[in-house]
């Protein structure tokens, strides 16, 4: 009876609903499914953060509408975190709070895209880059992340007529889903490209503090004057706070102003008690981050070894808590996910769920306890890839 809007109809099918159905079917058959699909940390939020939240929730002043751009103390804590962890000096007015970084990323196209304007979107990618562009009336121009280039886009493949009509470029390193990282030269190339064409460089930095070797760079370290870069970050992965819905955007003031104007018409800011708890996280000991990464590395090493022994080609991640692997010859990504589920009771995410560029790959999330990963490895020993 009610027709969906053309914009909503233009979104690709929600593949993950089919995956949920497959999983439910196996559980109904009595099979214990080991689910590596969801990138939601199983590690608990640090206790001092939870305690700060409990105390802050009791304050009457926190039970009212918050400010739209975030508490000054929260923005100052973000600035202190960026200076300590990344060597980037930010002013409080170069930061706004978000109801999770996903919310800010999704609203950015509404601030800057007119009908028919382009956003440059990596393929494969976190689906919100593509979906938000379409919902805002823009056109996604897809740039492939190819194995041969270490899953980094080739800016020379963006036609100049597209670049001139583009308003936003979305990038994400360390990358979800491929777990690829990038270096200083690539970031400078991206910044220069966006500067030449007056494009907002929207960098999703959610995984910059989940790493196992060298520290990944913030794009704000390279675009030190914040001429084109708006960086989105989150406490979700760094401090195990996915359900708290708290993040921030930092960098270029014009881009921030546009995003904030959209937000003032849509939401009423982040609950101040959550902001106070986040201050405790951001100003707390970095041992939380170090311990997370130690645990994820142990999990990574075990799962990667098991996948390799099962004959599955794996890209060993240097950052993120994802393992990106190749589907064997003769399988597309969905068919191989089904084979893993049917024959080993292991659920991964098909790469095609992140765009056509993800076809032929599958993703595993390291968000399961080491004991569960050991069980998965035991099952893989009997699995013929």
Q: Are 272 and 61 in contact (CB under 8 A)?
A: yes
DSSP 118: E
CATH class of the domain at 6-44+287-381? alpha beta
Structure tokens at 282: 């951001």
**H-type alpha helices, the chain:** 6-9, 15-28, 47-57, 72-86, 101-112, 128-135, 160-165, 184-197, 219-222, 253-264, 272-282, 287-309, 333-344, 370-381
Tens of pLDDT, residue by residue over 319-358, are 999 999 999 999 999 999 999 999 999 999 999 999 999 9
Tens of pLDDT, residue by residue over 40-60, are 999 999 999 999 999 999 999
CB atoms within 10 A of CB 167: 21
**3-class secondary structure, 198:** coil
Task: Give the C-alpha separation, 33 to 374, whole Å.
Answer: 14
Q: Is the pLDDT of residue 378 over 70?
A: yes
Task: Give the C-alpha separation, 160 to 165, whole Å.
Answer: 9
Q: Looking at residues 71-96, what average pLDDT do you find?
A: 98
Q: Which conformational region is residue 278 in: left (phi greater than 0), alpha (psi within -120 to 50 degrees), or beta?
A: alpha
Question: What local confidence, expressed as pLDDT, does residue 383 receive?
Answer: 80
| CATH code of the region 47-282 | 3.40.640.10
Q: Which residues neighbour 301 within 8 Å (Cβ) at sequence distance 6 or greater?
A: none
In the structure, how many helices (H) and strands (E) does the chain have? 14, 13
Cis omega before residue 338 (within 30°)? no
Domains in the chain: boundaries: 6-44+287-381, 47-282
Name the residue among 18, 112, 98, 39 with its Cα closest to residue 324. 39
Q: Is the pLDDT of residue 20 over 90?
A: no
Tens of pLDDT, residue by residue over 148-207, are 999 999 999 999 999 999 999 999 999 999 999 999 999 999 999 999 999 999 999 999
Element (H, E) at 201: strand 200-204
Lowest mean pLDDT among 20-34, 83-97, 121-135: 20-34
The average confidence (pLDDT) of the chain is 96
Lowest mean pLDDT among 48-57, 74-83, 101-110, 376-385: 376-385
Give the pLDDT band (50/70/90) at residue 385. low
pTM of the model: 0.96
CA angle 336, 339, 340 (to 5 degrees): 90
Q: Is the pLDDT of residue 18 over 90?
A: no
Give the pLDDT band (50/70/90) at residue 309. very high
Q: Looking at residues 238-259, what average pLDDT do you find?
A: 98
């Amino acid at each position: 009876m009610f027709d969906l809007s053309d914009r909503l109809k233009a979104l690709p099918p929600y593949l993950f609903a089919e995956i949920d159905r497959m999983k439910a079917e196996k559980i109904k058959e009595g099979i214990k499914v080991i689910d590596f699909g969801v990138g939601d940390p199983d590690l608990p939020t640090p206790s001092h953060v939870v305690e700060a939240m409990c105390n802050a929730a009791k304050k009457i002043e926190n039970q009212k509408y918050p400010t739209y751009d975030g508490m000054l103390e929260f923005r100052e804590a973000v600035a202190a975190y960026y200076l300590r962890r990344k060597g980037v000096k930010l002013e409080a007015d170069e930061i706004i709070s978000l109801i999770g970084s996903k919310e800010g990323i999704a609203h950015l196209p509404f601030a800057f895209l007119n009908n028919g304007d382009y956003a440059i979107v990596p393929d494969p990618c976190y689906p919100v880059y593509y979906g938000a562009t379409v919902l805002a009336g823009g056109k996604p121009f897809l740039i492939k992340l190819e194995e041969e280039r270490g899953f980094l886009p080739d800016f020379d493949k963006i036609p100049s007529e597209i670049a001139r009509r583009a308003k936003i470029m979305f990038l994400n390193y360390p990358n979800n889903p491929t777990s690829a990282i990038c270096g200083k030269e690539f970031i400078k190339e991206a910044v220069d490209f966006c500067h030449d064409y007056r494009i907002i460089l929207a960098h999703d930095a959610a995984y910059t503090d989940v790493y196992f070797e060298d520290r990944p760079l913030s794009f704000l370290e390279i675009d030190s004057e914040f001429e084109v870069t708006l960086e989105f970050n989150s406490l979700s992965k760094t401090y195990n706070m996915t359900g708290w819905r708290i993040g921030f955007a930092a960098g270029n003031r014009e881009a921030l102003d546009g995003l904030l104007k959209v937000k003032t018409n849509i939401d009423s800011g982040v609950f101040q008690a959550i902001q106070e708890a986040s201050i405790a996280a951001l100003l707390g000991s970095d041992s939380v981050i170090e311990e997370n990464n130690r645990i994820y590395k142990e999990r990574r090493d075990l799962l990667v070894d098991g996948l390799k022994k099962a004959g599955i080609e794996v890209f060993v991640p240097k950052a993120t808590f994802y393992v990106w692997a190749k589907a064997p010859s003769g399988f597309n990504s969905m068919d191989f996910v089904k084979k893993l589920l049917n024959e080993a009771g292991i659920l991964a995410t098909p790469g095609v769920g992140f765009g056509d560029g993800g076809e032929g790959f599958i993703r595993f999330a390291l968000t399961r306890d080491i004991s569960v990963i050991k069980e998965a490895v035991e099952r893989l020993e009997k699995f013929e890839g």
